[in-house]
Structure 1
């Protein structure tokens, strides 16, 4: 009797190839399919009971296989009024680009007794898994369905997942389904409406796209722009006291910091001079500690990749995905900043001993320097923090940027497993006239994690000379210094990501895409930060394992992660995929016009503000928790946005006037 057949389906071809190699021990029979990117790998594998030894076919999809769109009566731009799209009938279809993918699933599922889904273990992966399941069930209604839970593609981890199948998480899939429908309806309705409303002013057929994540992201950029534009510098004054002792120049800082009234500063300064002598009030030495970093999350990786490496968040995520697919790091989409106690962290540290750059530090951890990582406040219950799962020699990575990202992830992990840096601070407080001043010095006693986490600095300052409590001295120099307040800088990418994260705009894995979208749509311009920018290098356009650029998540119609209803595509350097320094964002005239227009309409929750989208994201979480249904979320969110749409339609002149102000002749 031939063994039972199990059909395994991954989310992308590279994962299918890697998993099949681990499960088969490298002994696979490879078959081509009608899709040039997808191959079928045949082998036998001994599963846990009750499955036992089975014939396995491992294949993949290319991200989403099913597209959401409106029916024929509403699909074309002029087929209906834009407001009708809030309740128009939607359809789910297999598009031309994925027809061969679906055909392969159908063909292989007919003779299989079990469907074993290997899509990524996150919310989007659960939904893609349901797409695969539904296609397979149409071909074989009797097929059983399970999924694998995995966080990296290291061999031992994959084999453990193969032996411990679980069920698909229907709640997570329902949350994604709700988001797709909402983004399709809301995005299409507002995009068609505002494009038509602004066509005459723009003087072209330009599509003015709307996305419920992109517009709040744009709003943050415009808000910072206005703060810069409206900034008025104010002069201020402060008193500085200096003392030279033992050939050391000591500067004492004013406890008031600064005053915005020159005459008040002069009066206080004159009282100091009348006193002549300064008195040491206290000299305090106490231990100091610089805390080691928390385990690495996706948002933190994007922020630090931009700030420390000078790479765009989109490029950082592209590289992290490639490192994950190659089996070098854990799954790079995670909100978790705490390691489960069951993870053998010492074994992971031990793998890094062979590194020429940080191997000696790793050896020190194994020889007694290991300290359990700190526990953050976040745990998505799905994946551990991002960490290396294998040592990779620099020569094994294709680009300088890949080496930088892998090094950042590895050094961060080793720093988490080390001790805090230890030092000692000395603070001298003096009174001069009626005013108080202070100075401080630092001595670093033990660098600990700083020896490996080269991105942070904590260095000993010049040693302070001896001061005794109660002693009096005549300052070597005392004067009034004038300064001016300076405007804030344009939003940098790490700052923008932090704002999106704090306001619930997008998910940890989609923020970079939303930033890229508003740049692609020319609502903002991205440029390397002129001050304090980091360096970068590498190739943002490199494809992974020859997989199609148009495949995967966040592309196409109605199936992106939080995008607008239509559009997509890979961004270039200006779209968040570039290099050459940390990016900062400046809004275009169109971007300013859109935000100002919607704000002036007088919404309690303007479409350029984060509140509506944040509330929607909270409802998605409640679907996952089981406290709200998919239908309830779709209905309540659509009603909120429909109300906004009606208000905007009634006051369209305000939006048009804003556009004329910034875009007119």
Structure 2
């Protein structure tokens, strides 16, 4: 039997359908879908089974004895044993069952470090039950009939060096992440769901974001003034011009010029020219993510959709550094796919060319081609976001074969009572590649027909007060580009790192804004262990992984160097442990401040009640009892948006796997909630408060006696009781007591 192993079930199903002479038979093995068919005839007849994994089917971890954060020192994780554990037992069992029967095994997982490692994981499982099975490897960049048939006709060997590079990344990320996260979280006293995540790629990336925010905070705006005039010709056509001194730094000078302006302007000089925009280069992963981000898709969402389009055969493999189409790719044939359908006009325009010469980017690799459309899709077959990504890929592919776009430019110098004004115009005259790829195109700036010596009317003039702006925050697309430039992460992991920063409540919004928590963590690390926050360390580790993949060094050499680097980091941390604790506590306290108390002027902070709920409370308690309720779940982010009316910062609530909820000003939110509650109560029949304990649903004679023994003799006593303490005295569950309190009209703790 010939066993084919792919990375996912959908790939297995598609590949089986392509290779099988007839429709393959779907069979369940140990609860896992497989696809079985027979090929050949007579003595050459062979049974083939195709099985899809679910990505990694085994993972790495520390032995259980290292799991106790309080008892096991974080530094001990550096040299701890690394064990392999099954992630998907059903698939492991199915592989063993099929592996016993297999004479030949073909690894058909994605061709990159991660895919090679996943393939080797499957190979090792099969070898344990069938040491005599032979193995080969197929590599493809698109799941289309031509690509798959070519790949299986030209199998190669498994690349164990590439798999080792993938495995080394797993080990390094586990050890660095677990050890540093445990150390910093314990120092800050932030355990459980609120732990502080630290990582060798995550922390330098976060440093970029925090450093930019510090630049913005330190920025001192400089005032300046601009002078504009609206000019009109004798046909009533108007346009805007600006004084040649674009920014006046002296207000008096600007005022003097402004007062001098008359009611007529003369055209002194007209300069006509042309400008060419060169067509874009082919999409690699980073370029694709940036372009997708510019049309409204987050990096993680763009990659998720691209993965789906790839496994369904619509586009090529989306994880690639390559920006040069390989000679082996029949470009004309790829364009001919679109001779019919929605892109027919564009495809035929390209096919009419005698030669197709695509643009070339700076990066050329041999693993995968740039991202290109692999097959024709109908809009009705795809979801809205899938079509958006697919169309982006198709149009970018077409644009790489197109001519430059050409602009006609116009520069005009005018005289207004001895003061020089200027106006610039531009008009697209040859669309070129922009016809194929219209995204984010600059608009025409049209000026009326003018000639030198023309006199124009000054219809309006204005002097604008402005000030210089701080550097802008990074968008996710720009951040991905910076990570690539600095060697942080890989094409496959950069978008995941950004997603992790969001889920940990280190950043929010887009453009990306750091939270107070990220300031606290980064300031502490930069002060006492700057190695963690700089890209140099992680760049060295990335280079070592490349050397493993190329067979220059063994995996253990890179892992040992990684351990030595981490020990050096811990040496820095241990020298400054007390200062680190103080710094984190002080910084994280800032993260809880939500504004100023309207009743006494003290700080308002996020606090926890005895019942476990969260609320905003005054620091002047018990002298001041001002409080506001908060939602029970989700991480609370204090933003920099400020409610002037209530003196409080707006809050954002982050729940993993859900869209962030902008709660806004806590006071405004509470007022709205109260209003909604009153309206809801007004529509419902009024519910009377129980007169005695026995009138409460669920409280019988025996329960009432238990409550009375605990000092609860009235409904009012019950409402005012601490449910946790009462539960200890009566052995009644806390949940049941809270329900009774709520049913009696006790105050809710959250909106």
Q: TM-score, normalised by structure 2?
A: 0.72
Matches within 5 A, 1:567-578: none
228, 243, 247: which one aligns with 1:258 = 247
Structure 1 residues 207 and 482, CA gap change in structure 2 (3 angstroms): closer
How many residue pairs match? The answer is: 586
The separation in 2 between residues aligned to 1:654 and 1:502, in whole angstroms, is 33
Q: CA deviation at 1:623?
A: 2.4
1:351/1:279 Cα in 2 relative to 1: closer, same or farther (>3 Å)? Answer: closer
RMSD: 3.0
Confirm or deny that 1:619 pairs with 2:619.
no
Q: Distance in 2 between matches of 1:658 and 1:369?
A: 68
1:102–1:135 contact (8 Å) kept in structure 2: yes
Distance 1:444 1:370, change over 3 A: farther
| Displacement of 1:33 | 1.6
Higher relative contact order (CA 8 A, sep 6+): 1
Q: Which of 150, 157, 182 is equivalent to 1:167?
A: 157
Q: Name which of 599, 608, 622 aligns with 2:533.
A: 608
1:179, distance to aligned residue in structure 2 (A): 1.1
Matched, 1:325 2:317: no
Q: Deviations 1:353-392 (Å, cap 9, x if unpaired)? A: 3223x32222222233974220001123111111211111
Give the structure 2 partner of residue 632 of structure 1.
Answer: 557
On the 8 A contact 1:44/1:54 being kept in 2, the answer is: yes
The aligned counterpart of 1:28 is 24
Give me the whole-angstrom Cα distance separating, in 2, the residues matched to 1:229 and 1:328: 46
Structure 2: gaps (5+ residues): 590-604, 606-751
Q: Alpha-carbon deviation of 1:24?
A: 0.2
Q: Which deviations, in whole Å up to 9, do the C-alpha atoms of 1:18-71 show, x marking residues without a partner?
A: 11110003432332122x3x3222223359xxx965332211222112221223
Question: Shift of the alpha carbon at 1:243?
Answer: 5.0
Give, in angstroms, the shift of residue 510 of structure 1: 1.7
Judged with a 3 Å threshold, the aligned counterparts in structure 2 of structure 1 residues 407 and 204 are, in CA distance, closer, same or farther, namely closer
- Secondary structure (helix, strand or coil) at the match of 1:116 reads strand
Could you say which residue in structure 2 is the equivalent of 1:137?
A: 127
1:344-423 equivalences in 2 (<5 Å): 344-356=330-342, 358-368=343-353, 371-397=356-382, 399-423=383-407
Contact between 1:600 and 1:654, CA under 8 Å: does it hold in 2?
A: no
Structure 1 residues 389 and 205: CA distance shift in structure 2, 3 A: closer
Change (3 A) 1:263 1:354: same
Deviation at 1:295, TM superposition (A): 1.2
Displacement, 1:103? 2.4
Corresponding residue for 1:124?
A: 114
**Aligned mate of 1:341, from 317, 320, 327:** 327
Within 5 Å, which residues of 2 pair with 1:87-166? 87-93=79-85, 95=86, 97-166=87-156
Classify the secondary structure of the residue corresponding to 2:274. Answer: strand
Who is 2:220 aligned against?
A: 232
**Structure 1 residue 472, shift from structure 2 partner:** 9.6
Please, what TM-score do these two structures have when normalized by structure 1?
A: 0.81
1:286 matched to 2:273? The reply is yes
Deviation of 1:333 (Å): 1.1
Residue matched to 1:71? 63
Instruction: Summarize deviations over 1:495-528 as a string: whole Å, max 9, x none.
Output: 32222222222222222211111222222234xx
Give secondary structure in 2 for the equivalent of 1:57.
strand
1:600-633, CA deviations, whole angstroms, 9 ceiling, x for partnerless residues?
A: 2262x3x233332233222222322344432332
User: 1:439, CA displacement in angstroms?
Assistant: 3.0
Q: How far, CA to CA, are the matches of 1:117 and 1:334 in structure 2?
A: 20
CA distance in 2, matches of 1:117, 1:227: 50
The structural deviation recorded for 1:10 is 0.6
Equivalence for 1:558: none
Residue among 284, 296, 304 paired with 2:291? 304
Instruction: Give me the whole-angstrom Cα distance separating, in 1, the residues matched to 2:66 and 2:258.
Output: 78
Aligned to 1:449: 433
Cα displacement (A) at 1:138: 1.8
Q: Are the structure 2 counterparts of residues 30 and 424 from structure 1 closer, same or farther at C-alpha, using a change threshold of 3 Å? A: same
